[in-house]
Amino acid sequence: MSLDIQKIREDFPILKQQIYKRPLIYFDNAASTQKPRQVIDAIRYYYESDNCNIHRGVHYLSVKATEAYEEARREIRHFINAKSTHEIIFTKGTTESLNLVASSFGKKFIRPGDEVITTIMEHHSNFVPWQQMCLEREARLRVAGIDDQGRLNMEELEGMINEKTRMIALTHVSNVLGTINPVSEIIALAHRHDIPVLIDGAQGISHLPIDVQELDCDFYCFSGHKMYAPMGIGVLYGKERWLEALPPYQMGGEMIREVFVDRTTFNDLPFKFEAGTPNVEGVAGLRSAVKYLQELGMGEIAAYENSLLHYATAKLAPVKDIRIYGTSSQKASLISFLIGNIHPYDAGMVIDKMGIAVRTGHHCAQPLIDYLKIAGTIRTSFAFYNTIEEIDALVKAVYRVREMFS
Ligand SMILES: Cc1ncc(COP(=O)(O)O)c(C=O)c1O
């Protein structure tokens, strides 16, 4: 069944607006997606009928809010096919999920001389926490490179695995190159050596159907706001045996079982990792976004976004002096490019004035940008509410940029 894009666009009130007297074209979906009315309504409903602190009350509203929160956890478990709700931890987003694992895993399992493997294409939030943890614990961070199509150098990564390797942490989809990494292959390889694998799913979750049991990853992290849900809510999936083994990340209410003056015992999963009052309205919005995505179908979304990617690539490739960064055949729906030696910021400003939102700069991936020896890129990233006509407008804007600066 194909998607009815015009009907879908009706669900996104923000897309109706005009900017600079032109219809808004939103191609910054890799930074954050827009929210459908259903998600906005779920948040309003929460405040109009359920708002209350959860888990700690016996009164009607507290019980109702707690039930809705825990139902959301069950639905998210189902969405990514985790084995148990104990494996679904609500966090502020991918960044907090990644910091949690790097910090707790590092404390428990990383010793001087140990090694962690990551890649050159990581977002800072899956790079800096591991880098800093390795510096603190006198461990070594090893960084696998890429080839000229922006694909991970698998031979190099495999060659880095040895008896000192404690973790492989990598992104599912590069937010700069769009490359979809062969994570199943890497997980199988790592598990042959008893090494756990963490996947940064920030760019994977909204484009690909995710089944964590089939992937067999040990951790998978994602953000609500990149999958049509609110900001400030995200998920850490972890295999129960790993989450049981890790020490708590933050201390406070809810994560404790008993507190004495001289010691504390900690709560069961998932609460051990959810200290303090959680983002309950964020969870309500995330639950609604998951339902929305499931109704459209992740397979249908992936197929449509792929068609946008191929159309846009075919239209942009012939532009004189354009260089596209990331040309793997396994790619999500984003294109990073430069035109001649035009600075990405200059190009971005002109494109903006034509009503089109693209992102320019290093995309929080400075090690990759340095590796590519460039100042940054212009990045256009597509969602299922984007259209072929919008891509035609972008192509026109790119020709205009070339004309203006050449
Ligand atoms: C690949 C990747 N990882 C991590 C993040 C960080 O996500 P957040 O800022 O939602 O925590 C991003 C955000 O752009 C990303 O693209």
Asked whether residue 132 falls in the same domain as residue 115, the answer is yes
Q: Which of 257, 276, 295 is the last residue of a domain?
A: 295
Contacts of 340 (CB under 8 A, 6+ apart): 320, 321, 402, 405, 406
Quickly list H helices, 297-387. 298-316, 344-353, 366-371
Question: Hey, is 177 helix, strand or coil?
Answer: coil
Q: Which of 240, 269, 295 is the last residue of a domain?
A: 295
Asked whether residue 109 falls in the same domain as residue 22, the answer is no
Characterise 321 by phi-psi region: left (phi > 0), alpha (psi -120 to 50), beta (else): left
Instruction: Tell me if 172 is assigned to some domain.
Output: yes
- Residues 315 and 300: their CA atoms lie apart, in Å, by 23
Contact present, 358 and 345 (Cβ < 8 Å): no
Residue 1 predicted with pLDDT over 90: no
Predicted pLDDT of residue 373: 97
The β-bridge relationship of strands 197-200 and 219-223 is parallel
- Residues 62 and 49: their CA atoms lie apart, in Å, by 11
Give the pLDDT band (50/70/90) at residue 57: confident
153-174 burial code (b ≥16 CB/10 A, e <16): eeebbeebbeeebbbbbbbbbb
Distances (CA, A) of 164 to 56, 169, 193: 44, 15, 11
Asked whether residue 145 falls in the same domain as residue 271, the answer is yes
Q: Residue 344 C-alpha to ligand 1 middle, in angstroms?
A: 21
Asked whether residue 129 falls in the same domain as residue 17, the answer is no
Average pLDDT, the chain: 97
Contacts of 57 (CB under 8 A, 6+ apart): 63, 66
Residue 177 predicted with pLDDT over 90: yes
Asked whether residue 54 falls in the same domain as residue 159, the answer is yes
Predicted pLDDT of residue 90: 98
Looking up residue 229, the CATH number of its domain turns out to be: 3.40.640.10
Asked whether residue 185 falls in the same domain as residue 237, the answer is yes
Looking up residue 384, the CATH number of its domain turns out to be: 3.90.1150.10
The predicted-structure confidence for 222-263, as pLDDT tens digits, reads as follows: 999 999 999 999 999 999 999 999 999 999 999 999 999 999
Asked whether residue 250 falls in the same domain as residue 318, the answer is no
Residue found by looking up tokens 């919005």 in the block: 285
Quick check: CB of 33 below 6 Å from ligand 1? Answer: no
The total domain count for the chain is 2
Quick check: CB of 175 below 6 Å from ligand 1? Answer: yes
Distances (CA, A) of 134 to 118, 286, 395: 12, 33, 44
Written as one letter, the residue type at 157 is L
Instruction: Tell me if 204 is assigned to some domain.
Output: yes
Q: Residue 381 C-alpha to ligand 1 middle, in angstroms?
A: 14
Contact present, 93 and 225 (Cβ < 8 Å): yes
Cβ atoms within 10 Å of 406's Cβ, excluding its own = 11
Rg (C-alpha) for the chain, rounded Å, is 22
Q: Which of 254, 279, 295 is the last residue of a domain?
A: 295
Asked whether residue 57 falls in the same domain as residue 168, the answer is yes
- Residues 114 and 149: their CA atoms lie apart, in Å, by 31
Contact present, 206 and 226 (Cβ < 8 Å): yes
The predicted-structure confidence for 358-385, as pLDDT tens digits, reads as follows: 999 999 999 999 999 999 999 999 999 9
Q: Residue 379 C-alpha to ligand 1 middle, in angstroms?
A: 15
Q: Which residue range(s) make up the domain with 184?
A: 41-295
Quick check: CB of 104 below 6 Å from ligand 1? Answer: no
Residue 306: closest CA among 176, 171, 147, 180: 180
Distances (CA, A) of 154 to 147, 148, 225: 10, 13, 31
Written as one letter, the residue type at 388 is I
**Strand locations in 224-296, DSSP E?**
234-238, 256-259, 264-266
Asked whether residue 13 falls in the same domain as residue 58, the answer is no
Percent of the chain at pLDDT above 90? 98
Predicted pLDDT of residue 189: 98
The predicted-structure confidence for 301-330, as pLDDT tens digits, reads as follows: 999 999 999 999 999 999 999 999 999 999
Give bridge partners of residue 264 from the DSSP assignment.
Answer: 259
Residue from 180, 226, 363, 379 whose mutation best tests the ligand 1 pocket (most atoms within 8 A of CB): 226
Instruction: Tell me if 36 is assigned to some domain.
Output: no
Entry pTM: 0.98
Return the ligand 1 atom nearest residue 171 CA. 1
Asked whether residue 335 falls in the same domain as residue 385, the answer is yes
How many helices (H) does the chain have, and how many strands (E)?
A: 14, 17
Return the ligand 1 atom nearest residue 223 CA. 10
Active-site residue, 364 included: yes
Contact present, 106 and 141 (Cβ < 8 Å): no
Retrieve residue 130's tokens.
């591991």
Instruction: Tell me if 79 is assigned to some domain.
Output: yes
Give the pLDDT band (50/70/90) at residue 56: confident
Retrieve residue 2's tokens.
């194909």
Instruction: Tell me if 35 is assigned to some domain.
Output: no
What is the widest separation between alpha-carbon atoms in the chain? 71
Asked whether residue 253 falls in the same domain as residue 310, the answer is no
Quick check: CB of 123 below 6 Å from ligand 1? Answer: yes
Asked whether residue 287 falls in the same domain as residue 307, the answer is no
The predicted-structure confidence for 342-358, as pLDDT tens digits, reads as follows: 999 999 999 999 999 99
Q: Residue 228 C-alpha to ligand 1 middle, in angstroms?
A: 14
